[in-house]
């Protein structure tokens, strides 16, 4: 099914990235346009003329070309808004094609993608970087029980333990060490740190992943972690906005509710996120959680009051990433493509679909279809795409050669930090 979906998307939208069009021959461009022009849709004349104005004067012009450029622009815009994963230690042919054609902004790596050792991870990262300029190559490298990379990479204890040392400077040094290793591997986006305040003992998913039970501790150490990662050229992601610490349910399995008044959210849950926004965090990840004080029915991921109004209220203008849309808290509500359209429309900038390639393709197609029909939704997609492109240009992580990776990951620079961690754990 994945291969049929990939073929269908290419036939419908063309396999041409408009950013690459100036380097194409007239014949290649005309052929792609002829394919795309087969299905008429009412174009936006302003968007078309703007795009035409950026094209070489030698390219053919006319209604068919205008339609092709509009559709290619939509495909490129909406492709920036989808981030997915793939199975195994190397890129699948389908995912590689999606990257090459601009239907993904990058990829997320899980344990199965990085279990083959540092050389394997480096080779995979180089392949991703070769297919997309400055891709968002993401990973969950928090420390403790959520760490995809294991030794010889830095082995970091849970964030609760790090905060218990009451040394924010050392926390920043650990995060800088993690960031340096990720950057050497070409991993540009880390879905860390957790900024949730651990206020509920029966929380099945947060616990020691949080820096502690007080908003002040979570803010202080969260900012230190963000500074450490981003000083290494890796984009940090605060999660799970606007707070997953007061839940008794796991959003991977069902939809949690945080039934706290707005004043309590302001005084507790939002404190670390405000601090992270003020510190220039590159990204925030939404929580698949209902907050009745904000929206009585919709999870934060698809609630405009959270993804537009609240993000503006805390002063955040980075990329707002959904948590995985395949999680049951969202999947149980309906089709994943509808959820993605709802999330982007609400104010998210990047739809995360971690595993199912067919679902990723459906999300991409749904975003383009809605953008074709709705000028307002197209404008929202363009805003989100602009944020994603800005973040991609900001990330400095590039995969090194194997020798340099072996020196950087678990090497001399990391060994001092690792020794200090070991000493503090034994104290």
Instruction: Give the side-chain half-sphere CA count within 13 A for 8.
Output: 10
Q: Are strands 136-139 and 141-143 parallel, antiparallel or unpaired?
A: unpaired
Cβ count within 10 A of residue 208: 19
R_g of the chain, CA atoms, integer Å:
22
CA-CA distance, 83 to 351, in Å (whole number)? 6
Peptide bond into 242 cis (omega under 30): yes
H-only helix segments in 45-148: 45-53, 63-79, 93-100, 111-114, 118-131
Distance CA 280, CA 7 (A): 40
* Helices and strands counted in the chain (H then E): 20, 10
State both tokens at 142: 């928090």
Dist. CA 358–CA 376, nearest whole Å: 27
Element (DSSP H or E) covering residue 218? helix 215-231
Query: What amino acid positions are annotated as catalytic residues?
Result: 252, 323
Q: Tell me if 32 sits within 8 A of 16, measured CB to CB.
A: yes
Quickly tell me which residue has 């206020």 as its tokens.
199
CA–CA distance from 403 to each of 130, 152, 222, 408 (Å)?
19, 14, 32, 9
Would the CA dihedral through 209, 241, 363, 249 be positive or negative? positive
Within 10 A of 357 (CB to CB), how many other CB atoms are there?
21
Widest CA span in the chain: 74
What gap in Å lies between CA 213 and CA 311, rounded to an integer?
A: 23
């Amino acid at each position: 099914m994945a291969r049929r979906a990939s073929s269908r998307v290419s036939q419908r939208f063309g396999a041409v990235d408009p950013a690459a069009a100036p380097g194409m021959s007239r014949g290649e461009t005309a052929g792609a346009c002829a394919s795309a022009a087969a299905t008429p849709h009412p174009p936006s004349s302003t968007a078309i003329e703007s795009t035409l104005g950026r094209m070489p004067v030698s390219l053919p012009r006319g209604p068919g070309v205008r339609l092709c450029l509009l559709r290619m622009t939509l495909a490129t815009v909406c492709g920036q808004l989808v981030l997915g994963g793939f199975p195994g230690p190397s890129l699948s042919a389908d995912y590689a094609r999606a990257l090459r054609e601009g239907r993904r902004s990058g990829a997320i790596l899980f344990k199965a993608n990085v279990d083959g050792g540092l050389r394997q991870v480096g080779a995979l990262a180089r392949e991703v970087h070769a297919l997309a300029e400055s891709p968002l190559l993401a990973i969950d490298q928090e420390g403790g029980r959520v760490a995809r990379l294991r030794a010889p990479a830095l082995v970091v204890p849970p964030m609760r333990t790090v905060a218990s040392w009451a040394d924010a400077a050392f926390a920043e040094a650990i995060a800088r060490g993690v960031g340096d290793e990720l950057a050497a591997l070409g991993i540009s986006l880390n879905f860390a740190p957790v900024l949730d305040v651990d206020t509920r003992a029966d929380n099945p998913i947060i616990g020691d992943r949080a820096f502690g039970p007080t908003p002040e501790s979570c803010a202080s150490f969260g900012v230190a972690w963000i500074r450490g990662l981003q000083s290494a050229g890796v984009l940090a992601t605060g999660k799970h906005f606007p707070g997953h610490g007061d839940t008794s349910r796991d959003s991977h399995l069902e939809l949690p509710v945080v039934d706290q008044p707005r004043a309590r959210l302001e005084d507790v849950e939002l404190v670390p996120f405000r601090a992270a926004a003020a510190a220039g965090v590159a990204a925030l990840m939404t929580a698949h959680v209902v907050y009745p004080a904000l929206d009585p029915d919709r999870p934060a991921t698809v609630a405009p009051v959270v993804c537009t109004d609240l993000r503006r209220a805390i002063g955040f203008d980075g990329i707002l990433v959904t948590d995985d849309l395949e999680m049951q808290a969202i999947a149980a509500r309906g089709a994943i493509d509808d959820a993605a359209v709802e999330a982007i429309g609400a104010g998210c900038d990047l739809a995360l679909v971690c595993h199912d390639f067919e679902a990723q393709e459906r999300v991409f197609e749904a975003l383009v279809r809605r953008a074709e029909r709705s000028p307002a939704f197209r404008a929202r997609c363009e805003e989100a795409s602009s944020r994603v492109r800005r973040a991609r240009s900001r990330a400095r992580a590039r995969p090194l050669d194997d020798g340099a990776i072996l020196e950087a990951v678990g090497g001399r620079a990391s060994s001092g930090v690792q020794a200090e961690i070991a000493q503090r754990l034994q104290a």
